[in-house]
Amino acid sequence: MTLVVAALLGSAYMLGRSLIPDQSQRHSSSVTTNADGPHYADQPSGGEPTGVPSASASASAGPAEAGQNGSERAAGDDKLFGAHTTTGSPRLALTFDDGPDPRYTPQVLATLREYDVKATFCVVGENAQDHPDLIQAIVADGHTLCNHSWQHDVSLGNRPPDQIRADLRRTNAAIQAAVPDAPIVWYRQPGGAWTNPVASVARQLGMTPLHWSVDPSDWELPGAGKITATVLTQAEPGSVVLLHDAGGNRQGTVDALRRILPDLIARFQLEALPTDPI
């Protein structure tokens, strides 16, 4: 009887193990690929909105958690290490992160062109390398470029300064390969996960750390309506608005942009951030 029970327990254990995914098959990189190009593993990439976190979940995630899990949430002032959160003027700035992307960046550019609005594009180095034509299109339309690290590395600020410097220089080199004369005077840390080393290295390389003041969390795919409502409710003179034109499914952001621009134009002057060193 003992042998029979042991055999049954062993069979049940093996069956249970077979139902658990092999952990070794998971990607170690934060970047995966799909039909649209790279997207970041911390960000949804499906075709349907996922909705927004519950109020209780949002309340439990304090400012000190900014940048964790790749979220583009604004951090407390003491966590920004001097990164700019406003334009420093009554004007409002739209910023687009994680591109360029061949599906969404052209749509964003076309919409901005239609409304004669200039913006700032915080580009990822590997995407700039893969799509130099889109970097050229951004500059040709009069927009400002911003370095957003080589591969959207949220933990970059925790690495040694030499590694941070190499990452930022590699990204700048990819951008400059497409647009040799375009200035790159801004740096935005992925996830807003600022540290003193990453802010300091950016400044040493002639770039001003750039954060934001309005975040509709469009990377969570809340839908165009939610993105629109958040931006229009929170926008005020001097705001820096965080949006995304890559890194996952960004159709909701593209659709929201067409709703946002007429209202913002009526209320504010919109600008691309300056290309002179700050």
Q: Is 97 a catalytic residue?
A: yes
The active-site residue out of 42, 97, 167, 215 is 97
Q: Are residues 260 and 225 in contact, defined by beta-carbon separation less than 8 angstroms?
A: no
Residue keyed to tokens 């621009």? 261
Strands (E) across 37-106 are located at 37-40, 93-97
Active site residue 244: yes
State the burial class of residue 175 (Cβ atoms within 10 Å of its Cβ: 0-12, 13-18, 19+). Answer: buried
Q: Do residues 31 and 151 lie in contact, with contact meaning Cβ atoms separated by under 8 Å? A: yes
Which residue type, as a one-letter code, is found at position 66?
Answer: A
Separation of alpha carbons 225 and 52, rounded Å: 12
Q: Which of 42, 167, 244, 245 is catalytic?
A: 244
Q: Which of 246, 4, 260, 237 is nearest to 134 (CA)?
A: 246
Q: What's the chain's length in residues? A: 278
Cα 191 to Cα 70: distance, rounded to the nearest angstrom: 5
H/E stretch holding 6 reads helix 2-18
Which residues are designated catalytic? 97, 244
